[in-house]
Amino acid sequence: MNFSFLTRRVLQLSLSLLAMTFITPNTALAKAHSAKKSNKAQKIALTSADNSEYANFTQWKEVAEFINYMVTIHGFDKLELEAMLRKTRYIDRAIKLIKPAPPGQPKNWTAYRIRFVEPVRINAGVMFWDKHADALARAEEQYGVPAEIIIGILGVETIYGRNTGSFRVMDAITTLAFAYPNTPTRATRMAYFKGELENTLLFARETQIDPFTLLGSYAGAIGLPQFMPGSIRKFAVDFDGDGKIDLRNSPVDAIGSIASFLVQHGWQRGAPIVFPTNVTPPNEKGESAWNKFIGDGLVAKFSLSELKEAGVVPDIEPPAELSFGLVDLQNGLGPTEYWLGASNFFALTQYNRSFFYAMSVVDLSNAVKSARMRY
């Protein structure tokens, strides 16, 4: 039997209407309930994909070994620790964020600097300095770290506490300790984060807090100064004198703790930080005697005379008795900036092992200091 297109559409519509009359109220409710469950499941799946997902870390061999270590060495209760790690979530975003930049992309100091030496951080730095001038002056007196350097670190790290991170530290550090991405330094980095997980649990026990209340960066750094748990235990101080160290809520503790950290990593009272410099052009073969000083560790270990002999030409004459390192700040396809870094510059690199980071702290500190003097 042949039907026209219009006739077929009329028949299909009639059959659909007829079928709807046989759907009972219970059937309709069931379908609506099923749709709601489906939507809810989709939302949960999206939430897990964006933030975290259940991994049952206790079934991982390396985690079981870690639990046994914590029980044997530090006397943790095994069942309690297993229950804690069952609550810990795998953070895929932490894995993505910790991965190094793809090879072949040139570093760009100018672009990096613009992110940190900018009006929001400068103005907020002036306000923070004014509010906590007494604590900053006391830290400078006690530790020898200038107020502006502490201001620079707090500004680069968290904009003076505005952005301290929203990752659960237990989740982030556990993920990186046992599922670090496949990079050349994977084994070293996993060992580091296992140590930080150990420190997280010890810190929580020592301060009698729930470790799941600790929020921080995707790498597990905590509070205004973004200290890792191990650094909190080793270098943080109760600078406000309330009987506890609280880098999450006490700017004064953060101020004293930054100064304490720098001094214990080589900061020298009253010593300079960096000097602008130039280098002689390469010869016709593209060779430079000064190139041997590039990338030779995060320490000031070369004399001024040997640097000059190799073609390093300081813009300002540094003290001859100090040791230096040659700092190169690459500018993408543009010319590289060169500086002579003294010991205090390399103390800053112990906070974050990057020339860009240390120099952005120096530049932000100077910008805030200049701005405050104008007000």
Active site residue 65: no
Q: Residue with structure tokens 């506490």?
A: 161
Burial status of residue 182 (CB atoms within 10 A of its CB: 0-12, 13-18, 19 or more):
exposed
Catalytic site residue from 53, 65, 148, 157: 157
Compute the distance between CA of residue 139 and CA of residue 239 in angstroms, rounded to an integer: 9
Please tell me the distance from the alpha carbon of residue 100 to that of residue 103, in angstroms, as a whole number: 8
Residue whose pair of structure tokens reads 């951080």 in the numeric block = 121
Distances (CA, A) of 198 to 39, 59, 202, 238, 297: 39, 18, 6, 22, 28
DSSP 169-223: HHHHHHHHHHS--S-TTHHHHHHHHHHHHHHHHHHHHHHT--GGG-EE-TT--BT
- Rounded Cα distance, 106 and 100, in Å: 13
- Which residues is 334 bridged to in the sheet? 331
CA distance 279 to 106: 20
Nearest one of 247, 276, 278, 293 to 362, comparing CA atoms:
276
How far apart (Å, rounded) are the C-alpha atoms in residues 266 and 56? 42
- Other CB atoms within 10 Å distance of the CB of residue 62: 13
d(CA 365, CA 337): 19
Question: Which residues carry out catalysis?
Answer: 157
